[in-house]
Structure 1
Amino acid sequence: MVIAYIVAGALLYSGGYAPISMWFLPAIGIAFFVAVLQKESLLRRLLYIFLFGIIANGVILHWTSTYVGAVPWLLLTTLETTFLLPLALIFPLQKWRYFAFPSVWVLMEFFESRFPFGGFGWTRIGFSQADSPYKSIASVAGVAGLSFVTVLLALVFHFLTRRKYRTSLTIFGFTSLTVLISMALLPMQGPRTINVLAIQGGVPKLGLEFNARAAQVFHNHLNETYLALKNGKVKPDLIVWPENAVDVDPFTNADVRNAIDVLVSNENIPIILGAVKTFGSHYQNVSILWDPHTGPSSIYIKNHLTPFGEYIPLRSWAKNFSPLVNDVTDFSPGREIQIHRIAGVHVGPVICFDLIDDQLLRKTAIRSDILAVQTNNATFGTSPQSKQQLAIARVRAIEHQKSIVSISTSGVSAFIDNLGNIEQETDLNTSAAIGAKISLQNGTSISDRLGNRVEAVLIFIPTLLWFIVRRMRAK
């Protein structure tokens, strides 16, 4: 019966993420998890937490096995699960330990997002809450605040099952008050706007060899752009192409460079495009602003490279697990933030894996009026990866109070407002163009102003209060 509860809880938890995407399921799953662990020994708690994590993370991250097999997926699932194990130390929950539980959960996500190799915070529970009624919390307390509140909601469910209605109402009332305050603090839409045309050109073939015909990927985006401009009723102020849309170096390939020059100069519209740039014996994943008059005017080099995707850590060890390691040429990371400027509008480029880096996103958002998330999902086929990434982008839009253009080579692409709502969305694995007038926010969200201090408060204050009360009662 205990095993059944753990399995059910893990499956419910995973249901908060695409393809199911029901925001309330993770909290119910955690409530199952809490109920089981309350009466178990430390060893059994560790085993049950490991089982819960393996199932939940395994389901959520199953897309990582697309085209590369089960071994990388199982290794990543196991790594993510190990971060949950310290939760066993605070059970059984009682009195002030209940308040420590969401703090420790946020602490585990803190480490998950930073270690190893820069972290992989994809499964942070806050990223599953883009449709929740309390999502505005992110604008004040970031993703960590969303995770904290979701775990509090799990405790509400737990107390309800134990018929502790007063405690449930107290926690629910506190959470509701916090949500109302965060909603009241949301800024109004800015008076300035920009017309953006985003191009999802498609790829000739999904999979690891999507760029085997890089010229065709480029021409797909070029042709889709001309078609959209011909059929469009409003001339855009900016065109945005995704990551890897130009998967050859436009600085060394004369044909590609000339085609881009002709597009922007004839149409008199700047374009932000994703390209691969040679850098000695390595490559760089870049976002380039191509101006109609000056050509390439600013270049952002992707800061947070994808481990085992764009570079191989521990290469000699990793090749024992996958023969595909030898096919990966290491990319070289950028070290600086670069903001694209178009007629007074500051556009912050975010390339794929950058999206889950809290510090990098905060630095970029503070200097931007709008964020352009350029990504390539072709390597994950038709899996839920793209939808999960879009959910993360929606939470980031709320957190930083910036509208987002999320554009992919093969989908899903979308325009997202600063409240996390999707204004337009493409289908997966299609060629498409979407255009919209986007509101600009040039202020800074409370979450960005507070920075890591909110996370520190969520982690340490409830736990500190627990220790203080415990010592006072001991005396």
Structure 2
Amino acid sequence: MPLWAAVLVAGAAGFLLNLGSPPVEWWPLTFVSVTLALLTLIGRNIGGALLAGAVFGTVFFTTHLVWVGEFLGPVPWIALAGVEAVLFGLGAVPIALAYRWTVRHRPRGAVQLLALPLLIGGLWASREVVMGAWPYSGFPWARVGMTQVGGPFVEVASWTGATGLSFLVVTMCAAVVQWLRAGGLRFVRGLIPVGVVVVLLVVTPQFPTTSAGAFRVGWVQGNGPTGYFDVKAPGDVLAAQTTATRPLYGQPMDLLAWPEGGVDADPLSDARAAAALDRVVKAAEAPLLMNAATTRGGAVFNTSLLWTADPADRQWHDKVNPVPFGEYVPDRWFYELLAPDLVGLIQREYTPGTNSPLMEVGDVRVGLAICFDVIYDTVIWAGAKQGAQLFVFQTNNADFRGTGENLQQLAFARMRAVETGRAVVNVSTVGTSQVIAPDGATLESVGVDTAGASISTVPLRTGLTPSTVLGPWLTCVLVLASSVALAAAGLSHRARTRAGDTAHPADRPRL
């Protein structure tokens, strides 16, 4: 493919992946997008692969993350999308090298039809792993596997996790590419690897977890002024949550859940806020899971508190991954030189939490994730492994009103339900709040910019899915195995080159 065509196709592929993702969520387009993206990398040299990958990343991330600039303007949006696009482009280089270094193997042989698609799938998944961990704790927001949460293959995630699902989707697309290169319709047997992956995706059921009773959760979307630039007076957010909760009083519940930022004062040091929460707990006759910024030992935390009538029974969990440039500024001195006005808006410096993402409500264990912590696998794995029987995710989407951000984040909540085999209560300040069954189906929902409250009886589950147990190992194995396999392909290619084994002219690397 000429470079100019590769650039155009890569841009189109990036746009298609955005359409395959929430909020549009036309999941079949993901397969088209990935297939086109791989075609742009065949025969490319390093510079050409970097360009094609960066173009794909630029189109995808600028469209997918447009919500970043909703209130802060274009600079943070372009900066984040630009960094992600560069990293995505760098991750395209190993894929192009894999195609180049295996070109001397027979087009209809096992290496081209079986080994290479597996390697391509591993390299793509490895790129997602790296981008999800670096820099500044990474941004594992956009993954190929996440686009399948509304499709027929999502149950596979209970075995493989989102990363493993990404690997399988890309492997299937890469197998299609190799079949086309080997002759397409003239070589029907070449579709066997594709068929195997499709069958695995279709017939694999969700891993069963064990029923452990039911739990009544009252959840409240207060629709208060929780945005960064919302006009409000102290106590307005707490008042909005309290008002929206009142219809639930007098109804039996085991837990009352409020969203992230549902209390706009530190109840550990503000007596009036603490007294107001005491009144809520008394009226609800249930413990309250709420969230506020707290200060302890001179450090500021984004904290979820289980507020009970007896202070001795209270528990808390601090957000594990504060959002860089949102909840703290890494290397502040440097970024103040670049954008002092924007950086100056971020006054608080939240400290990462180290306590368990789990609380005990009676004899029931509730797993937690605060806002963007839901996108980090390790937080979810930790809660499940420590015995969570359901999950409550608290979030504040007020700074992204009118965008698709809340639905993109909600897709993670649905995926986490499938991965862990647990029900999820995803409660937001302004929407979208949902109760999600262990199979990812939506049981109840409150839309955006609406105050609402409900009491939902959700199933409790025990037992660990393979996704939870093997997730850390699978991530490491994919990265290490792909790296080793690529290195082996490079050494083999070099040895064949020295031996005088030449490639077909059409397969030689092009810009």
The alignment's TM-score, normalised by the length of structure 1, stands at: 0.92
Aligned counterpart in structure 2 of residue 348 of structure 1, from 367, 376, 391: 367
Name the counterpart of 1:245: 262
Q: Contact (CA 8 Å) 2:117, 2:175: kept in 1 or not?
A: no
Does 1:78 find its partner at 2:78? Answer: no
For residues 268 and 94 of structure 2, the distance between their equivalents in structure 1, rounded to whole angstroms, comes to: 55
Q: Contact (CA 8 Å) 2:209, 2:421: kept in 1 or not?
A: no
> Could you tell me how far 1:423 is from its partner in structure 2?
1.2
Please state whether the residue corresponding to 2:146 is helix, strand or coil: helix
Please state whether the residue corresponding to 2:218 is helix, strand or coil: strand
Equivalent residues in 2 for 1:86-125, closer than 5 Å: 86-91=91-96, 93=99, 95=112, 96-125=115-144
> Could you tell me how far 1:408 is from its partner in structure 2?
0.6
Name the counterpart of 2:509: none
> Could you tell me how far 1:30 is from its partner in structure 2?
1.3
Q: Which runs of 5+ in 1 are unaligned?
A: none
**Greater Cα offset, 104-113 or 255-264:** 255-264
Pick closer, same or farther for the CA change 1:143–1:322 going to 2, 3 Å: farther
Name the counterpart of 1:192: 213
Name the counterpart of 1:46: 50
Pick closer, same or farther for the CA change 1:341–1:426 going to 2, 3 Å: same
Give CA deviations for 1:351-405 in whole Å, capped at 9, x if unaligned. Answer: 1121122222211121211111111111112211110000011111111222111
For residues 375 and 192 of structure 1, the distance between their equivalents in structure 2, rounded to whole angstroms, comes to: 26
Does 1:209 find its partner at 2:229? Answer: yes
Does 1:32 find its partner at 2:32? Answer: no
**Greater Cα offset, 147-156 or 99-108:** 147-156
For residues 455 and 57 of structure 1, the distance between their equivalents in structure 2, rounded to whole angstroms, comes to: 23
> Could you tell me how far 1:256 is from its partner in structure 2?
1.8
For residues 106 and 243 of structure 1, the distance between their equivalents in structure 2, rounded to whole angstroms, comes to: 31
Q: Contact (CA 8 Å) 1:261, 1:292: kept in 2 or not?
A: yes
Name the counterpart of 1:379: 399
Does 1:440 find its partner at 2:478? Answer: no
Equivalent residues in 2 for 1:330-345, closer than 5 Å: 330-345=349-364
> Could you tell me how far 1:180 is from its partner in structure 2?
2.7
For residues 281 and 117 of structure 1, the distance between their equivalents in structure 2, rounded to whole angstroms, comes to: 23
For residues 28 and 21 of structure 2, the distance between their equivalents in structure 1, rounded to whole angstroms, comes to: 10
**Greater Cα offset, 253-262 or 286-295:** 286-295
Pick closer, same or farther for the CA change 1:60–1:322 going to 2, 3 Å: farther
Aligned residue type for 2:223: G
Q: Which runs of 5+ in 2 are unaligned?
A: 104-111, 500-511
> Could you tell me how far 1:76 is from its partner in structure 2?
1.1
The alignment's TM-score, normalised by the length of structure 2, stands at: 0.85
Q: Contact (CA 8 Å) 1:382, 1:429: kept in 2 or not?
A: no
For residues 11 and 245 of structure 1, the distance between their equivalents in structure 2, rounded to whole angstroms, comes to: 36
Please state whether the residue corresponding to 2:20 is helix, strand or coil: coil
Q: Percent identity?
A: 26
Aligned counterpart in structure 1 of residue 470 of structure 2, from 442, 450, 456: 450
State the Cα RMSD in Å: 2.5
Q: Contact (CA 8 Å) 2:317, 2:353: kept in 1 or not?
A: yes
Q: Contact (CA 8 Å) 1:141, 1:455: kept in 2 or not?
A: no
For residues 80 and 272 of structure 2, the distance between their equivalents in structure 1, rounded to whole angstroms, comes to: 41
Aligned residue type for 2:443: E
Aligned counterpart in structure 2 of residue 173 of structure 1, from 184, 193, 196: 196
**Greater Cα offset, 11-20 or 90-99:** 90-99
> Could you tell me how far 1:165 is from its partner in structure 2?
4.0
Please state whether the residue corresponding to 1:333 is helix, strand or coil: coil
For residues 246 and 400 of structure 1, the distance between their equivalents in structure 2, rounded to whole angstroms, comes to: 29
Pick closer, same or farther for the CA change 1:423–1:189 going to 2, 3 Å: farther
